[in-house]
Amino acid sequence: MNLARPALAASVPSPFQALIDGLQEAVWLVDAATHCVVAVNKMSQALLGLPSDQLLGCAIDSLATTPEDALFWMDAAAGGRDGLHTDTMIRHADGRMMWVARRVTHVPQAQGQGLWLIAMQDLTAQRQHDEERETLLAELRATLESTADGILVTDLAGRMRSFNQRFAALWGIPEDLLNERNDEAVQAWMRRSVIDGPAYAMRLASVQESPLLQTSDNIRLIDGRVLERVSLPQWSRGRPIGRVFSFRDLSEKLAANQRIEELSHTDMLSGLPNRRALAERLDYAQAMARRETSPFGLLNVDLDRFKQINDTLGHSYGDRVLKEVALRLKESLREVDTVARLGGDEFALLIHQADARGAEHAARRVQEAMSRPFCFDTLSFTVTCSIGIALFPGDGNSAEELLASAERAMHWVKESGRSAFRFHQPRKDVDLLSRMRLDHAMRQALQEHEFRLHYQPQVALGTGEVIGAEALIRWRDPLRGEVPPSEFIPVAEESGFIVAIGNWVLQQAVQQAAQWRRQGLRIPVAVNVSALQFQQAQFVETVAQALRAADLSPSLLELELTESILLRDAEEALLRLQGLAELGVCMSIDDFGTGYSSLGYLKRFPIQRLKIDKSFVRGLPGDASDAGIVNAIIQMGRALNLKVIAEGVESEAQREFLQRCGCHEYQGYLFAPALEGRAFEERVMRQNKAQVRLLRGGA
């Protein structure tokens, strides 16, 4: 340091020296007249690293060189100042500038202009501390602003101390409210933004009353968003001094969760509930059904030959069909019911508060909805479906069991020719083993001639004359006793043995008709034909052979086919039917109404008769729906020039109703059950003779 030193050092009164040496600050005494340093204390040397003798006598303006100093000393010389107290910088002996708090005070003296006392305190440590704190604060602020959460810090009384921009944005707080730091206005704004303002305020108040509480809750805003609010006490020196609230917008997360939940319960292609969602609804339906003792139905709907559509027209086409099917299924049900897609071309319908009748009604509506042709682009085609029905209670005690029952029933429909519906029947021979035993027993029965045919008379409604017979198979097994066809025919259909049985029935029936013919009885015999039997390539030839062998006129043989047989492989079926028609054989549609086929569609087939299924006859004449269906079938049949016969007629009232509607013929227990050949002959003779007598007598 190169300091200008005046030629004469000012002399300092020695009491001052002792005084200033006792001070904690670095002190210089400056002569007010000469502006020269006249005394320095020990602390000065410690602060600035300059020995006292280097300072003594120096001009002050060479030591304190800032513009502020220069100005002060100029003013002081003119007598215009009495002190100065600022932070300033001063040079250390080693050349670095250092911060000091510097106080300049005038010390008057009895003579002369007095002295200036310059006291300096080292600010280096404090400055450093301040700087560190500022950096820290800046860092904190940056962190606060960069978090995705809205942060609000309050004191213990709930007054806002700080917040970040995200907080303002989340709550949509106007800038002027924030700038004003108007606590009450901001709080009011927040209260107004939530759905339940009073509850929000109460909760906040209770949080404030417990400064140590950690809280976490969700707040619903009136704009629909949901904010998660977490609050923690803010600590300082071991004591809570306020509270930090953080807010996070959960709306997206909740929406995403909801979407995930939806997706896991929805079939992507159709938008329908999936198997999982259906299982949940089934569980619920069961609980409700138990409580209210109201039954419900579950329908398994499987499209017939959907694979063909996929294979020939492509998958995207198939998808369009599935979507359309989904739509039609939904339309055919009530709002409360559920349509679910189980996968592939398999759907399930949950029909609430429905017994067998209600479920059947739903099945018919589905078939009706599906019967409308599907038209895409230039293509138009029909899609049929097979429906299995399970009922609760009865067909299962869990969603899984019910689904399995409905599916099993659906498979029975598929096996017996598709395009129909069927209730699940708890089978006595459910297990494979007993089915195999039954199948084996049937094969033996055929060899051992244990099968018999019974004949149920068919009667003209107008004249009461017996005009035909339906051949129905009977089997008495040595072990099992009389086994009903409803039990063994499905097993035979499953194993394929039905073809052999069917051929036996055909030959037997044709021979019986031929024998009656020889006895002078012209009784056409109707034979039930199974799908598998009809599908045999040589079926037409088999029929022709049976007729030739018995030498029977083809007009005395009738084949009972089900709708599903005709709808399966329709073109192929049509060719076969034409072959049979050319033979001169009669054909009827059995169980009419249970499968769904529009009569317009059936018009293409060379068919002579419709047999109204006994399930419709059962409710006659009281049941309005049965009565309507039966009447419609009769009218349509007549319009298409078909003979209409009703089966399962058990009462006079049913017979009368059918006659009134214009039905041509009937069969049923009212007249006679299926009878042995001999018994049938006698019954017919008696009846027809009586009829002849009646007619003659009447004439």
Between CA 431 and CA 532 the distance in angstroms is: 23
**Can you say whether the dihedral through the CA atoms of 613, 618, 621, 626 is positive or negative?**
negative
Whichever of 113 and 507 has its CB closer to Ca ion, that residue is: 507
Whichever of 163 and 680 has its CB closer to Ca ion, that residue is: 680
Q: What is the DSSP string of 245-292?
A: EEEEE-HHHHHHHHHHHHHTTB-TTT-SB-HHHHHHHHHHHHHHHHHH
Whichever of 31 and 590 has its CB closer to Ca ion, that residue is: 590
Helix, strand, coil share (%) of the chain residues, nearest 5: 45, 25, 30
Whichever of 326 and 483 has its CB closer to ligand C2E, that residue is: 483
Whichever of 493 and 591 has its CB closer to Ca ion, that residue is: 591
Residue 561 to residues 15, 132, 541, 590: CA-CA distances in angstroms? 139, 98, 17, 6
Residue 327 to residues 273, 324, 360, 475: CA-CA distances in angstroms? 13, 5, 20, 46
Q: Can you read off the two tokens belonging to residue 490?
A: 């499905």
Q: Does 484 bind ligand C2E (CB under 6 A)?
A: yes
Q: Does 388 bind ligand C2E (CB under 6 A)?
A: no
The only residue of 394, 464, 485, 606 in contact with ligand C2E, by rule CB under 6 A: 485
CB under 8 Å to 334, separation ≥6 — which residues? 352
Closest-CA residue to 89 (of 75, 104, 74, 102): 102
* Candidate segments 10-18, 221-229, 302-310, 478-486, binder of ligand C2E by CB under 6 A: 478-486
Q: Does 591 bind ligand C2E (CB under 6 A)?
A: yes
Q: Does 512 bind ligand C2E (CB under 6 A)?
A: no
The only residue of 242, 502, 524, 593 in contact with ligand C2E, by rule CB under 6 A: 502
* Burial of 548 (C-beta count, 10 Å sphere; 0-12/13-18/19+): exposed
Binding site for Ca ion (CB under 5 A): 528, 560, 590-591
Whichever of 392 and 592 has its CB closer to ligand C2E, that residue is: 592
Query: Mapping DSSP to helix (H, G, I), strand (E, B) and coil, where does residue 132 land?
Result: helix
Closest-CA residue to 520 (of 382, 689, 368): 689
Q: Does 489 bind ligand C2E (CB under 6 A)?
A: yes
Between CA 390 and CA 407 the distance in angstroms is: 8
* Candidate segments 59-67, 68-76, 645-653, 655-663, binder of ligand C2E by CB under 6 A: 645-653
* Candidate segments 93-101, 430-438, 566-574, 666-674, binder of ligand C2E by CB under 6 A: 666-674
Q: Does 367 bind ligand C2E (CB under 6 A)?
A: no
Strands of the 226-236 sheet, one edge to the other: 160-163, 150-155, 239-249, 226-236, 215-220
* Candidate segments 46-54, 319-327, 382-390, 643-651, binder of ligand C2E by CB under 6 A: 643-651
Q: Does 494 bind ligand C2E (CB under 6 A)?
A: no
Q: Does 381 bind ligand C2E (CB under 6 A)?
A: no
Beta bridge partners of 338: 350
Is the Cβ–Cβ distance between 391 and 297 less than 8 Å?
yes
Q: Does 590 bind ligand C2E (CB under 6 A)?
A: yes
Whichever of 590 and 681 has its CB closer to Ca ion, that residue is: 590
Between CA 279 and CA 342 the distance in angstroms is: 10
User: Residue 482's CB: how many other CB atoms inside 10 A?
Assistant: 8
Whichever of 560 and 665 has its CB closer to Ca ion, that residue is: 560
Q: Does 393 bind ligand C2E (CB under 6 A)?
A: no
Q: Does 25 bind ligand C2E (CB under 6 A)?
A: no
Closest-CA residue to 647 (of 636, 635, 633): 633
Query: Mapping DSSP to helix (H, G, I), strand (E, B) and coil, where does residue 619 land?
Result: coil
Whichever of 197 and 619 has its CB closer to ligand C2E, that residue is: 619
The only residue of 88, 405, 503, 528 in contact with ligand C2E, by rule CB under 6 A: 528
Q: Does 508 bind ligand C2E (CB under 6 A)?
A: no
* Candidate segments 339-347, 372-380, 636-644, 647-655, binder of ligand C2E by CB under 6 A: 647-655
Q: What's the min distance (Å) between Cβ of 594 and ligand C2E?
A: 10
Q: What's the min distance (Å) between Cβ of 312 and ligand C2E?
A: 32
Q: Does 456 bind ligand C2E (CB under 6 A)?
A: yes
Q: What's the min distance (Å) between Cβ of 579 and Ca ion?
A: 21
Residue numbers 672-691 binding ligand C2E by CB under 6 A? 673-674
Interface with ligand C2E by CB under 6 A: which residues? Answer: 456, 471-473, 484-486, 489, 502, 505, 528, 530, 590-591, 614, 647-650, 668-669, 673-674
